[in-house]
Amino acid sequence: MSSVVAAAPDDTLWAVGYELNFDDGSERGVNLDGGVVRHFDRNGKTLGAFVPRSSIEDISHLSLQFSMLAATADRVGWLHYDYKGKAHGAYVEISRDGNFASYPLPEPREPQPHYLLELGGMAITDSGDTFVVVKNRTNHVQSDFTLLALNRSAGRWMPVRMVPAPAKAGEVLGSNGNELAFWLSGSGYSTVHFFTPDKK
């Protein structure tokens, strides 16, 4: 049963979900040894299955609400998380040949008394850079947002300078080559920008 799907440039599909025995219809019917990240060819044949269901603490991490997926020609990135109390989850990256690495979740710009992680989209560019938007909140109201890039060697998410004018709200919609498609909203406007992030 898949809830999050991403198409790759080679016409294959990546999906997040779990194997369920519909004759049972309960949690007991879930295959805990089955991979929750699956790769399919254009005819629906399974090319690979990764990350066993037993390694996921909370099954809600497999839902569209708490899961993001982005695919390129050579990899897929899956970010799963929640905002309840101390957040748990990870960003997992899997290559076409089955190698995968796990990285920590992004951090809010200002630490909160109770960890609050709210994301506004994720994208992977053709050059392999991974970006995510973290929504920042003050007194439980969104104040602005931060665009972060994954530094794999350091295992950290680093802030990226926004090229378009600052906005109160923003979400990354995906990538076009090495450009990000970014929705921005401010006082009296809402628009989509395409820009190449400046990671310096």
User: Domain map of the chain by residue range?
Assistant: 1-105, 107-200
Domain topology for 107-200: Thrombin, subunit H (2.40.10)
Tens of pLDDT, residue by residue over 33-59, are: 777 888 999 999 989 888 777 777 766
Tens of pLDDT, residue by residue over 178-194, are: 999 988 887 677 888 88
Confirm if 167 and 151 have CB atoms less than 8 A apart.
no
Reference 66, options 49, 54, 52, 78; nearest CA is 78
Who contacts 29 (Cβ-Cβ below 8 Å, separation ≥6)? 20, 21, 22, 23
Tens of pLDDT, residue by residue over 106-145, are: 876 655 555 567 788 999 998 899 999 888 766 666 567 8
Torsion from C-alpha of 9, 155, 18, 15, nearest 10 degrees = -10
